[in-house]
Amino acid sequence: MTLPRMERNAFYPPPKAIRGGLTFPAHIWYNSPTMAQKVRKAVIPAAGFGTRFLPATKAMPKEMLPIVDKPIIQYVVEEAVAAGIEDIIIVTGSHKRAIEDHFDHPYELERHLLDAGKEKLADEIRAIADLANFIYIRQKGSYGNGTPVLNAWSAVGDEPFAILWGDEFVHAQPPRLKQMIDVWEQYGKPCISAVRVPEQSVSKYGIADISPVKDNVYKINRLVEKPKVGEAPSNMMTGGAYIMPPRLFELLAQTPVGQGNELWLVDAIVALMKEQDVYAVESKGGKYYDTGNKLEYLKTVVEFGLKHPDLNGEFASFLNGLKL
């Protein structure tokens, strides 16, 4: 069968084919998602400027800010890998080379550590590059958190996939993303990570109007962005991690730019909700860490510092000795 030639677009670079009145990348024929289809790929948008942390992020990606001795994005990648993800697709910008270097093999550093008799540390450094198969894409198109996801279309293909932000994570057992993948495999429904927030904090987040399905799984009836206190449909904050069908790419490509002349992921998800149910998965046994702002970042560093085996005793004594 000969596919029609169509103009390439800066938003989603693959050539497109027409099927049933819709356009898709030419190498993809879409089928309905099935419960058996495994989630193997995760997209991590990491192209933002990190303006909240300037001047520290002038020459350093915000995703590389350390939580004690490990960068934020490594926690995100480790969560994905622990959930069974094999391919990590990181969408970066021209100022994010340090992320690629971090997940690469630093042969000179490894040799230096081995020569110095630091085999354990050399093994730890080497293991970072072996966590997954890493794919890097430079972001193209307008601003907004939908653009980097759309840029990953070719790399994801016709598979269900995860989306994780590079500056926030949930520390949970089993991993938050694993809990979401289990829901995808059981119900075959797109799902979004969810956590409860204090009632007085709902105006800071996207809040879901929900109906219970089973245990920690809820059907999302609608999404309300930063509702006023007292007007929120619940205290269930959604976001941070997503399991989505490949259909989302087509919807993103059709979504007009919104607030701030930016392309927003939530607008495409709202369009998806008109076609099928989308579930919220409340993370069990975990804690949400939003390291995208200074205060929460510092809280995270302190908390993880207190847990660190090399620091916990002395660091706790230091904090107790502060005159506040």
How does pLDDT run across 100-115, given as a tens digit for each residue? 999 999 899 999 999 9
Written as six digits, the tokens of 9 are 């677009």
Q: Give the DSSP H/E element, type plus range, for residue 20.
A: none
Residue 40 scores a pLDDT above 90: yes
Model pLDDT, residue 17: 39
Q: What local confidence, expressed as pLDDT, does residue 144 receive? A: 85
Q: Model's pTM, two decimal places?
A: 0.85
Predicted confidence band of residue 62 (pLDDT cuts 50, 70, 90): very high
Q: Tell me the per-residue pLDDT of 200-232, one tens digit each, with 9 for 90 and over.
A: 888 888 889 999 999 999 999 999 888 888 888
Return the beta strands (E) in 50-122 as ranges: 66-67, 70-71, 87-92
> Cis link prior to 160 (omega < 30° from 0)?
no
Of 20 and 267, the one with more pLDDT = 267
- Nearest CA-CA partner of 181 in 39, 34, 33: 39
Per-residue model confidence (pLDDT) at position 323: 82
CA atoms within a 13 Å half-sphere pointing along the CA-CB vector of 238: 32
Write down the pLDDT at residue 16. Answer: 47
Average pLDDT of span 255-260: 81
Whole-angstrom CA distances from 9 to 6, 151, 161, 287, 322 are 9, 11, 22, 40, 57
Mean of the per-residue pLDDT values for the chain? Answer: 85
Contact 268, 146 (CB under 8 A): yes
**Count of CB atoms situated within 10 Å of the CB of 51:** 9
The pLDDT tens digits of the residues spanning 157-191 come to 999 999 999 888 888 889 999 999 999 999 999 99
